[in-house]
Amino acid sequence: MSYSHVMRIDIVTLFPEMFAGPFDISIIARARESGLLEIALHNPRDYTADKHHIVDDYAYGGGPGMVMKPEPLFDCVDAVRAAGPRGRVVLLTPQGRVLNHQVAAELAREERLILICGHYEGVDERVRESLADDEISIGDYVLSGGEPAAIVLVDAVARHQPGVLGSAASLEEESHAQGLLEYPQYTRPPVFREMAVPEVLLSGHHAEIEKWRRQQSVLRTARRRPELLANATLSAAERRLVEAESGGEVSATPALLRVAVPVSDIERAAAFYAAALGTPGARVAPGRHDFDCGRIVLACVESADGEARPNAQPICFAVPDLAAAFERVREAGCQWIERRPKTRDGGERSFQARDPFGNPLCFVDERTASGSGRKE
Ligand SMILES: C[S@@+](CC[C@H](N)C(=O)[O-])C[C@H]1O[C@@H](n2cnc3c(N)ncnc32)[C@H](O)[C@@H]1O
């Protein structure tokens, strides 16, 4: 098998010996051996001009601890970059954006990453300002150095490299891949200390197993990390399951915002709503009036009078809070057509507005709707 994407990761660290071990076993070691991943370590101490190889100094203005000097870090990264592609320079810092599934997938698309591990009180601010392209934190706590963070990042990113995991399905099914936690896993024996494996998993009935796993995944997420459900795509039945589970307190009920946008206008409208709502939209097949509505949604499916528009392209946006969503699009130039919710066929309560391009919007309180959502 051949893979076009070989990833190169350069790690700038004062303590290269900390990486012996984590990169030499298991999946990372195999990825390196098969040439899918190249890792190189560089010590900024080797880029100092003084005889004591000083890499840190006191903080201007006083305060505890030492700060990593800019010159060895800039010189080290310049030298690393001189060979091969420029790469994306990532500073590991507790002040960066927090690493998650999406960030790992994004970084995995880079041809080359250059990771800078800080130490002591951190690095001179000019490294952050002028050398780093990105800043990543592995969580809201402070480590003594960037090395453990770099190990975590390399592992999370490497898993997204085609060919690194035995099966691409493992990555897709794992926790966070679809905004849900993974279902419970069991292996032999079927009964251990009187704890039995759920019968469905022993049944050999693949459709039933899939159904059970999906349900467990949804329930598990609702119990442990309900906030993740805001970005998960759930069917109407799954939403009801979540609501029953949370006693109605954690509502996965979507607020539904529909917009009729002519196909000719779709790119402009999609960009407008993505910017206004602060989230990228997902296209729904033209002509579909039923769609997966997790915590949704904006879909261009109707005109102001409720008639379907055959040339309209649906777009969906995850909108956790309908009122907040409307406030955002109102600030972006949308105006009310009617302010009072109306009860429409199927019982849903809705009201109308118009966007700056003249497209009608229809806001629907999905909790009152009986007809929308994925057909089950
Ligand atoms: C003791 S920390 C410095 C913390 C810094 N004084 C602050 O308060 O932001 C030393 C180094 O550890 C690394 N580090 C600490 N916590 C981290 C985290 N949560 N994620 C990524 N890197 C971290 C960074 O490279 C940082 O420069």
Q: Which atom of ligand 1 is nearest to the CA of 65?
A: 6
323, 325, 327, 329: CA torsion to nearest 10: -150
Q: Return the pLDDT at 261.
A: 54
Task: Name the residue at shortest CA distance from atom 15 of ligand 1.
Answer: 143
Mutational test site, ligand 1, from 116, 143, 151, 154, max ligand atoms within 8 Å of CB? 143
Amino acid (one-letter) located at 352: Q
Q: Strand 112-117 vs strand 7-12: parallel, antiparallel, or unpaired?
A: parallel
**Nearest residue by C-alpha to atom 6 in ligand 1:** 121
Q: How many CB atoms lie within 10 A of CB 155?
A: 15
Residues in contact with ligand 1 by the CB-under-6-Å rule are 92-95, 117-119, 121-123, 137-139, 141-146, 149
Number of neighbouring beta carbons within 10 Å of residue 138: 21
Distance from Cα 226 to the centre of ligand 1, integer Å: 29
Give the per-residue pLDDT at 92: 98
- Nearest-atom number in ligand 1 for the CA of 136 is 21
Kindly report whether the global pTM for this prediction surpasses the value 0.95: no
- Give the pLDDT score at 257: 53
Which residue's CA lies nearest to atom 19 of ligand 1? 94
Can you give the pLDDT at residue 123? 97
Q: What is the pLDDT of residue 294?
A: 39
- Per-position pLDDT tens, the chain of length 376: 444 578 999 999 999 999 999 999 999 999 999 999 999 999 999 999 999 999 999 999 999 999 999 999 999 999 999 988 999 999 999 999 999 998 999 999 999 999 999 999 999 999 999 999 999 999 999 999 999 999 999 999 999 988 888 766 666 677 777 788 989 999 999 999 989 999 999 999 999 999 999 999 999 988 888 778 867 777 778 877 887 777 655 444 444 455 555 555 667 777 887 888 777 666 655 544 444 443 333 344 444 444 444 455 556 666 666 667 778 888 888 887 666 666 655 555 566 677 787 776 666 555 544 443 333 3
Give residue 32's pLDDT: 94
